[in-house]
Amino acid sequence: MMKTLVATLVSLALTAPALAAETSEQEALKLRLDELNEELEYLSDRLDKAERHTATDRIQFSGDFRVRAHTLHYQDVTWNPAMLVDFNDFGAKAMSGQLGDPNNPNSPLGALMASNPALAEAFMSGQLQGVMPMVLAPKQTYDVNNDILYNTRLRLNLKAQVWDNVSFAGRLTMYKNWGDSTGVQVFDSWRSFTMDGTNSGNTSGDWLRVERAYFDWKNIADSNFYLSIGRRPSTYGPPTQYRENELRGGTPSGHLVNFNFDGATLGYRLGEITGIEGQVLRFCYGQGFESQWGNGEMYGDIVTKDTHLGGFNIDALNDGTHFLQLTLFGAKDVNDGFKGLMAFPTQLAGIFAPTMYQDMQKFDDFNFVTRVQPSSVIGDMYLGGIGYAYEGDSGFVGFASLGWTRTESNGNAGLFGGMLADARFEAALNADGTEILMVPVAAQDAGDHDGYGAYVGIQIPAPGGKFGLEYNYGSEYWTPFTQAQDDPIGSKLATRGHVGEAYYIFDINPKMHIKLSGLYYDYEYSGSGTPVGAPQKVEDILAGTAYSMLPVVDTAYDINATLALRF
């Protein structure tokens, strides 16, 4: 269109001299043509800029970049594995001949006795009766020191205004350790297990994951209701944003929830009615696990169930100085794990896969990667809490959060246990009747358990930035959904025990800071961060009177330095 306009003007300019005889008129027309050309170039530039602006403004990009160096130290790491075996059931099956002839070394029972002479002697002498621990390997206690661990986190934020009252938001995250993009870790703790809900908080590799992707539909039918659906902003919620030196990063209480999930939120802006600033009521629903699509069972032979989440999150007050939040939600049909990948530990292969272990010893620096999935529905969970934060004009911040968790076991259990209960194993023959297997049949001492957690902190102005102190405590059965918190030792807010943290943040400019931090963990009970298995006193595991299928840490500390910027 622009070329056509220019051509028309040029044609007019060339035709005018033919109609006018005077040279002065020709010069005037030429001057006018030059002026028009200048105006057209100016308009063309403006139009091009407007077109580019419209195209690029469809999606707005921002982000943050963080580099962190850790020195990690774990004291008295203890591995003392055992399983609870019903020896009365074992004895009855052995006496009836179901397990083969004990005097025949080629029978399943004879082979078991021959390979475990101490177990055979204890059983024959009557020392093994009722449900007792069957020790699987000698107790080991050691320290672990990772003097330097570097990692990098890149987060890209996406925003788009779809319509006057409809918007889209997303976040892509890369989080990796320097020199490592394997994406799969050796399964020595539940934190090392790669799964959907924790990928954004676990170092995985040099690729971007979709941490968030959702739309907001506000003022539906000119009301105070709004609807949001997609991968939820359910990480880095209050009051955890202060230690991150960020604005509020997620909707639910960060003391109770730091976990990625897919779902929907229906909200109502109560403040428009009550007059209380920032008051919002939200009903949240989500799915934490899909049991059928993609599982290993064939033809609908499914033993697990979908895990559904639902509850309320209320910002009772949010006026920029005072923040008060109430949270209550539940998870129905919790399974004994999630679908995901892990590198199978050689030590566990020696216990559970002796035939494979023979080959694995030839390649002691190899681990085979396997896809795992839950084996049973173990019960329901409920979480609730109240949190308050104060932000003063001087830069002072103080907060306190109290949390409650409740687990209700249905008595089922998988290999690693049931809902806050250990599994009870019984002897059974394998498919071809050649080997005795220990099969989990139920949760031992299953029941309902309440857990409690407290989280407090302050942040004060200091030369060049701010100084902060935080402390949190979790009881024996404390089980929040904070497994995506990106502390390398493990989510500090999921700790069953004590954690203290001190940090100093130096503000280089409004979009860049340096943070020096130290965290000290003092674990009182095992199993922090998972509802699977009975919590055991760490001091009893150290003493050898209690057992854990996975290594247990007594104390640990993390000293780290961070350089972060926003763009």
CATH of the domain at 210: 2.40.160.10
**First CA to last CA across the chain, in angstroms?**
38
pLDDT in tens, 15-62: 544 544 556 666 777 777 777 777 777 776 666 655 555 555 689 999
Domain boundary among 134, 168, 196: 134
Is there a single domain that holds both residue 233 and residue 335? yes
Residue of 278, 237, 228, 227 whose CA lies nearest to 258: 237
Is there a single domain that holds both residue 147 and residue 129? no
pLDDT in tens, 186-213: 998 888 887 888 988 999 899 999 999 9
| Residue 14 exposed, middle or buried by CB count within 10 Å (0-12, 13-18, 19+) | exposed
Is there a single domain that holds both residue 77 and residue 90? no
pLDDT reported for residue 298: 67
In sequence order, what E strands does 164-306 have? 166-177, 194-195, 205-217, 225-231, 262-268, 280-289
Is there a single domain that holds both residue 188 and residue 255? yes
Is there a single domain that holds both residue 112 and residue 239? no
Is there a single domain that holds both residue 200 and residue 296? yes
pLDDT reported for residue 46: 65
Is there a single domain that holds both residue 525 and residue 378? yes
The answer to whether the beta carbons of residues 205 and 181 sit under 8 Å apart is yes
Is there a single domain that holds both residue 118 and residue 262? no
Is there a single domain that holds both residue 234 and residue 106? no
| Assigned domain for 366 exists | no
| Alpha carbons 253 and 327: distance in angstroms, whole number | 7
Confidence check: pLDDT of 123 > 80:
no
pLDDT in tens, 320-365: 999 999 999 999 999 998 888 999 888 888 888 878 888 888 887 8
> Across all residues in the chain, what is the average pLDDT?
90
Query: In the chain, how many domains are there?
Result: 2
% of the chain at pLDDT higher than 90 = 70
| Assigned domain for 430 exists | no
- Could you tell me which residues come within 8 angstroms of residue 272 by beta carbon, excluding any fewer than 6 positions away? 224
Residue 405 belongs to domain spanning: 60-81+137-339+374-410+446-566
| Alpha carbons 83 and 136: distance in angstroms, whole number | 7
| Assigned domain for 500 exists | yes
pLDDT reported for residue 314: 97
| Residue 298 exposed, middle or buried by CB count within 10 Å (0-12, 13-18, 19+) | exposed
The answer to whether the beta carbons of residues 410 and 452 sit under 8 Å apart is no
Is there a single domain that holds both residue 203 and residue 187? yes
Q: Report CA-CA distances (Å) from 55 to 44, 59, 161, 220, 397.
A: 17, 8, 12, 27, 41
Residue 103 pLDDT level (bands cut at 50, 70, 90): confident
| Assigned domain for 164 exists | yes
| Assigned domain for 294 exists | yes
Is there a single domain that holds both residue 514 and residue 545? yes
| Assigned domain for 431 exists | no
% of the chain at pLDDT higher than 70 = 93
pTM: 0.88
pLDDT reported for residue 349: 86
Is there a single domain that holds both residue 92 and residue 109? yes
